[in-house]
């Protein structure tokens, strides 16, 4: 939430000729996949291609017609003929305009719908991915694939693809037209163009160097900005404003310099191409005039006028071509990154269904071994037996593996060895969703959505009425707090501020679970930010709710777990002690030490 992707600042605006492009690894495969999306609208696409041919053809033809009008009618002063011919020219123009309208009109739909399907597939696939995918990929990177990359594909489809096709077509038709008018004069643009391309390559190469410097500086500056601003309160508390300012200023000045160079080198291409363009134009005028006077190659004024227009027209698309190829390349790379996500092995969702109404809630961990990486087992041969309705507490130092137990029970991860059964069924054979529907969880990191408080609580059960939502909030002891807010239940939660503390957010999350009314309850440090008195209230409520249902409680605070039916002490991935509070206390072992350290010093006083 807090981490907005900063790397792609000004993503379109900052891209210019010479910008470094990340190249796709498998262009063919990516294009094939992309085609899979586009081909659903094959017929429309075919129509677009026809329209592009028509509009490019009309464009070149109209220029030729104007030349002919000059030669045939204006020079000969044939006005009735000119009038008739004008109608032809207007008709060609109209045809071209219609074709280009038709083409973009249809293409908008194709592009938008294709992007929509890609976006939909990507989103849906996100929900099928296992959690370790999210653990192993940087949040910012994923976010940038989901947003920037998809936008990039969409914009390219929408604009650049058609442009590319029409540019290529225009160049070819123009070359053909020039050759048919005067092969001799055509030599001029054909000679000047490679010079232009070579020159622009020179600048592009230079610019590329500065662009990657600029990208690096921009990335670093944005890094400083993001980190500092999101930790601004700490910066203030330590009075680090001045030091941070210095750091920022250095990066800002680096960017000022590299940005300036990148900008200048990349933009120099434009006036240079522009003047080359004019060079070609002037040369055509000069040699054309010369040839006309000398009577070479059967030239006419109209033909020279045509050649002038073509010489100008010729340069522009070649200029554009380089930029377009760049854009296309980066769009393919974007598509590849998107498809990479889609290709990730999904979680198997299918399996047997269970109903939470008929669930007894017997949970058995048998010889469970698991590690987030194969070399490092977090749980080793763990055995747990929770009878229906029992409350099981898991205690132990940080990193002992308590949360991992929860991750396995919910099948966020699957065991490496051993089995976990629910009412005697191996949970691996159950449908993940059916399994999760039976479990209610309040987890360490409270995540609420940026929606109203009411909507957040209702997330527990979508068809709950307002009264039920408020009832759940009342049980979770947060109703009074909510009604005291200026907007009450309609307060929109956002990522910071609003005067809602971490503890209050947790209470809202608890209300959400209350509403879900699960068969098995899991509280993973659910009350760590809540004071014990409030926690006591909630626990009373949870006890009522959980009456006759199995629950797992993880907590540092021993008071939270004292009343559990069974306490499991986990250390270093193994259960080292097990029993009720009284029996463990009497054992004088690990638990005893953990427990008594809380008030030992009182007794000593």
Partner 1 sequence: MRNLLKYLKPYKLYVILAPLSMLVEVLFEIQIPRLMGRIVDIGIQTGDISYVFVTGAKMLGFAAVMSFGGMGCIYFASKASQNFGADLRYDLFKKIQSFSFSDIDHFRPASLITRLTNDVIQVQNLVLTGLRMMTRSPLISIGGFIMAASINLKLSLILAVTLPILVGLILFIIKKSFPLFSLLQRKLDNVNSIMRENLSGIRVIKAFVRSDYEKKRFEKANAELTQVGISSGKILASSMPVIMIVMNLAVVGILWYGGFLTSTKELEVGQIIAFINYTTQILHSFMMIGFMFIAVSRAKVSSERINEVLVAKVDMSMPENPYKNPIKEGKIEFKNVSFRYKTGNKEYNLSNINLTISPGERIAILGETGSGKSTLVSLIPRLYDAVQGQVLIDGVDVRDYDLDVLRSGIGIVLQDTILFSGTVEENIKWGDDNADEKKVREAAEISQASEFLDAIPEGLKKTVGQRGVGLSGGQRQRVAIARAVIKQPKILILDDSTSAVDVMTEAKIQKGLKKKLGSATTITIAQRISTALDADRIIVMKDGKIAEEGTHKELIELGGIYLEIYKSQLGTEGLS
User: Whose Cβ is closer to partner 1: residue 26's or residue 540's?
Assistant: 540
Q: Which is nearer to partner 1, 93 or 202 (CB)?
A: 93
Find the shortest distance in angstroms from Cβ 486 to partner 1: 5
What helix, strand, coil percent values describe the chain, rounded to 5?
Answer: 65, 10, 25
Tokens at 27, concatenated: 């262009």
Closest distance of CB 50 from partner 1, Å: 16
- Nearer to partner 1 by C-beta: 225 or 322? 225
- What is the number of other CB atoms lying within 10 angstroms of the CB of residue 246? 10
How many residues can be counted in the chain?
605
CA torsion sign for 529, 531, 534, 536 is: positive
Provide the minimum distance between the beta carbon of 422 and partner 1 in the complex, in angstroms, as a whole number: 15
- The half-sphere exposure of 579 on its side-chain side, counting CA atoms within 13 A, is 14
Q: Which is nearer to partner 1, 28 or 87 (CB)?
A: 87
What is the closest distance, in whole angstroms, from the C-beta atom of residue 384 to partner 1 in the complex?
20
| Strand runs labelled E in 362-413 | 363-370, 379-386, 391-395
Say if CB 521 and CB 549 are below 8 A apart. yes
**Please, which residue, 148 or 574, has the CB nearer to partner 1?**
148
CB of residue 228 to partner 1, shortest distance in Å: 8
Q: Is 579 left (phi over 0), alpha (psi -120 to 50) or beta?
A: left
Query: Which of 25, 105 has the CB closer to partner 1?
Result: 105
Burial class from Cβ neighbours inside 10 Å (0-12, 13-18, 19+) for residue 374 reads: exposed
Sheet with 574-579: strands ordered across: 439-442, 520-524, 551-554, 391-395, 566-571, 574-579
Euclidean distance between CA atoms 248 and 262, whole angstroms: 21
Please, which residue, 262 or 368, has the CB nearer to partner 1?
262
What is the nearest approach in angstroms of partner 1 to the Cβ of residue 305?
5
Nearest to 334 by CA among 34, 111, 13: 34
Report in angstroms how near the CB of residue 320 gets to partner 1 at its nearest: 14
CB of 21 to partner 1, least distance (A): 19
Q: Which is closer to partner 1, CB of 198 or CB of 602?
A: 602
Do 66 and 305 touch, CB atoms closer than 8 A?
Answer: yes
What's the closest the beta carbon of residue 4 comes to partner 1, in angstroms?
A: 6
Q: How many whole angstroms separate alpha carbon 490 and alpha carbon 487?
A: 5
- 27/125 with CB nearer partner 1: 125
Contact 406, 441 (CB under 8 A): yes
């Amino acid at each position: 939430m807090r981490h907005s992707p900063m790397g792609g600042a000004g993503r379109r605006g900052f891209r210019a000729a010479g910008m470094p492009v990340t190249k796709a690894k498998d262009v063919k495969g990516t294009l094939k996949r992309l085609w899979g999306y586009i081909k659903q609208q094959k017929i429309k696409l075919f129509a677009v291609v026809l329209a592009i041919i028509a509009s490019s053809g009309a464009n070149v033809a109209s220029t030729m017609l104007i030349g002919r009008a000059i030669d045939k009618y204006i020079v000969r002063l044939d006005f009735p003929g000119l009038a008739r011919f004008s109608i032809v020219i207007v008709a060609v123009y109209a045809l071209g305009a219609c074709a280009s309208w038709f083409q973009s009109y249809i293409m908008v739909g194709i592009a938008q719908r294709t992007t929509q399907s890609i976006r939909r597939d990507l989103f849906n696939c996100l929900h099928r991915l296992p959690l370790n995918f999210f653990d192993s990929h940087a949040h910012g990177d994923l976010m940038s694939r989901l947003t920037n990359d998809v936008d990039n594909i969409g914009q390219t489809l929408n604009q650049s693809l058609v442009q590319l096709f029409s540019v290529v077509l225009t160049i070819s038709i123009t070359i053909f037209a020039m050759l048919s008018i005067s092969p001799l004069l055509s030599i001029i643009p054909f000679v000047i163009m490679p010079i232009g391309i070579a020159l622009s390559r020179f600048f592009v190469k230079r610019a590329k160097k500065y662009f990657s410097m600029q990208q690096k500086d921009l990335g670093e500056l944005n890094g400083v900005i993001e980190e500092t601003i999101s930790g601004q309160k700490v910066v203030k508390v330590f009075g680090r404003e001045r030091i941070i300012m210095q750091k920022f200023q250095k990066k800002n000045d680096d960017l000022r310099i590299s940005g300036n160079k990148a900008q200048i080198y990349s933009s120099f291409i434009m006036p240079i191409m522009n003047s080359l363009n004019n060079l070609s134009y002037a040369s055509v005028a000069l040699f054309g005039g010369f040839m006309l006077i000398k009577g070479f190659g059967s030239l006419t004024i109209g033909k020279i006028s045509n050649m002038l227009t073509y010489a100008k027209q010729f340069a522009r698309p070649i200029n554009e071509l380089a930029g377009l190829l760049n854009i296309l390349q980066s769009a393919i790379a974007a598509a590849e990154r998107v498809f990479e996500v889609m290709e990730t092995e999904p979680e198997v969702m299918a399996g047997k269904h269970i109903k939470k109404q008929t669930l007894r809630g017997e949970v058995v961990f048998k010889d469970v071994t698991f590690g987030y990486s194969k070399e490092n087992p977090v749980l080793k041969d763990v055995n747990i037996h929770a009878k229906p309705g029992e409350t099981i507490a898991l205690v132990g130092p940080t990193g002992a593996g308590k949360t991992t137990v929860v991750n396995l029970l919910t099948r966020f991860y699957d065991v490496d060895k051993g089995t976990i059964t629910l009412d005697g069924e191996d949970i691996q054979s159950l449908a993940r969703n059916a399994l999760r529907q039976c479990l209610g969880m309040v987890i360490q990191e409270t995540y609420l959505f940026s929606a109203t408080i009411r909507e957040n609580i209702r997330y527990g059960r979508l068809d709950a009425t307002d009264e039920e939502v408020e009832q759940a909030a009342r049980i979770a002891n947060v109703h009074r707090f909510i009604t005291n807010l200026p907007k009450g239940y309609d307060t929109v939660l956002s990522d910071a501020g609003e005067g809602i503390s971490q503890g209050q957010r947790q209470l809202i999350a608890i209300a959400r679970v209350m509403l879900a009314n699960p068969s098995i309850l899991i509280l993973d440090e659910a009350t760590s930010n809540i004071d014990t008195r409030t926690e006591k209230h909630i626990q009373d409520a949870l006890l009522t709710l959980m009456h006759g249902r199995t629950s797992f409680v993880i907590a540092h605070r021993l008071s939270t777990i004292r009343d559990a039916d069974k306490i499991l002490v986990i250390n270093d991935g193994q259960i080292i002690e097990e029993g009720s509070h009284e029996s463990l206390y009497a054992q004088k072992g690990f638990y005893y030490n953990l427990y008594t350290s809380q008030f030992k010093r009182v007794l000593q006083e």
